[in-house]
Amino acid sequence: MRLLFLGDIVGKSGRNAVIETLPDLRERWALDFVIINGENSAGGFGITEKIFNELLDAGADAVTLGNHAFDQKETLVYIERQDRLIRPVNFPPGTPGRGAGLYEARNGAQVLVMNAMGRVYMHELDCPFRAVEQELLTCPLGTGADAIVIDFHAEATSEKQAFGYFADGRASLVVGTHTHTPTSDERILPGGTAYMSDAGMCGDYNSVLGMSKDEPLHRFLARIPKERFEPANGPATLSGIAVDIDDKTGLAKQVRSIRIGGCLSQSEPDFWA
Assess if residue 240 is contained within a domain. Answer: yes
Q: Which domain holds residue 25?
A: 2-260
pLDDT at 159: 98
pLDDT of residue 273: 74
- Model confidence pLDDT, tens digit, residues 20-32: 999 999 999 999 9
State pLDDT tens for residues 61-97: 999 999 999 999 999 999 999 999 999 999 999 999 9
In a domain, 266, yes or no: no
In a domain, 273, yes or no: no
Q: What is the pLDDT of residue 50?
A: 97
Catalytic residue among 68, 153, 178, 180: 68
Average pLDDT, the chain: 97
pLDDT at 74: 96
**Percentage of residues in the chain with pLDDT exceeding 70?**
100
Average pLDDT, integer, range 170-178: 98
Q: What is the 3-state secondary structure (H, E, C) of 103-171?
A: EECCCCCEEEEEEEECCCCCCCCCCHHHHHHHHHHHCCECCCECEEEEEEECCCHHHHHHHHHHHCCCC
Predicted TM-score (pTM) of this structure: 0.97
Tell me if 154 is assigned to some domain: yes
For residue 268, tell me if it sits in a domain: no
Whether 178 is a known active-site residue: answer no
With pLDDT > 90 as the criterion, what percentage of the chain qualifies?
99
CATH code, 96: 3.60.21.10
Residue 267 lies in a domain: no
